[in-house]
């Protein structure tokens, strides 16, 4: 069992390392395709294919890039200067007292405290708060 788990962990770590170096694999493949294109178009004299790429495929690619760029910027143009979300209002001490049935001074102390112990009844409703002393020794 120990050997199986060790092998599994080694495989997972290997996959993780490949994932980390994925950019190198992609860069190598990209460079190889440039080398292949150069070899085919320049050394093998297939210039008609290169001219066809420049005259037909490249303008289509540029048009798609422009369309995608405009599409990505639509919301920036639509919502510039408009408030899209309204911020939440903060609750007051009185609202909190009504909500959890605890005295106002206890809630004020709990807001300032670093640690608070909360007591709940069986239905999950908060019934009491206990302010814990601040911890200063973190050793």
Assess if residue 34 is contained within a domain. Answer: yes
pLDDT of residue 67: 93
Give Cβ neighbours of residue 134 (< 8 Å, ≥ 6 apart).
Answer: 113, 114, 115
What pLDDT sits at residue 114? 82
* pLDDT at residue 137 in the model: 67
Other beta carbons within 10 Å of 49 = 12
* Claim: this prediction has a pTM higher than 0.85: no
Both 8 and 59 in a single domain?
Answer: yes
Which DSSP category does 84 fall into? -
If asked whether residues 8 and 56 sit together in one domain, one would say: yes
**Same structural domain for residues 6 and 33?**
yes
Q: Are residues 52 and 98 in the same domain?
A: no
Residue 139 falls within a domain, yes or no? Answer: no
User: Which residues span the domain enclosing 50?
Assistant: 2-79
**DSSP conformation class of 115:** E
Number of structural domains, the chain? 2
Q: Is residue 85 part of a domain?
A: no
Residue 86 lies in a domain: no
Q: Does 56 fall in a domain?
A: yes
H-state helical runs in 21-130: 22-38, 47-52, 58-79, 93-100, 104-112
Phi (first) and psi of residue 10, to 5 degrees: -65, -40
pLDDT of residue 63: 93
| Judgement on whether residues 61 and 99 belong to the same structural domain of the protein | no
> How far is 40 from 50, CA to CA, in rounded Å?
9
In a domain, 138, yes or no: no
Q: List per-block mean pLDDT (blocks of 10 residues) for the chain, which spans 139 residues.
A: 83 87 79 74 71 81 91 83 75 81 82 85 85 73
Residue 118, strand partner residues: 129
pLDDT at 44: 67
Instruction: Indicate whether 43 belongs to any domain.
Output: yes
């Amino acid at each position: 069992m120990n050997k199986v788990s060790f092998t599994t962990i080694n495989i997972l770590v290997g996959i993780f390392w490949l994932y980390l170096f994925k950019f190198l694999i992609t860069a190598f493949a990209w460079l190889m395709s440039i080398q292949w294109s150069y070899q085919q178009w320049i050394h093998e004299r297939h210039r008609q294919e290169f001219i066809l790429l420049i005259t037909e495929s490249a303008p289509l690619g540029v048009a798609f890039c422009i369309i995608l760029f405009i599409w990505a910027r639509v919301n920036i143009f639509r919502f510039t200067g408009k408030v899209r979300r309204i911020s939440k209002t903060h609750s007051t001490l009185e609202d909190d007292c009504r909500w959890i049935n605890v005295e106002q001074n206890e809630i004020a102390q709990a807001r300032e405290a670093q640690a608070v112990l909360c007591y709940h009844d069986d239905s999950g409703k908060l019934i009491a708060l206990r302010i814990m002393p601040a911890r200063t020794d973190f050793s």
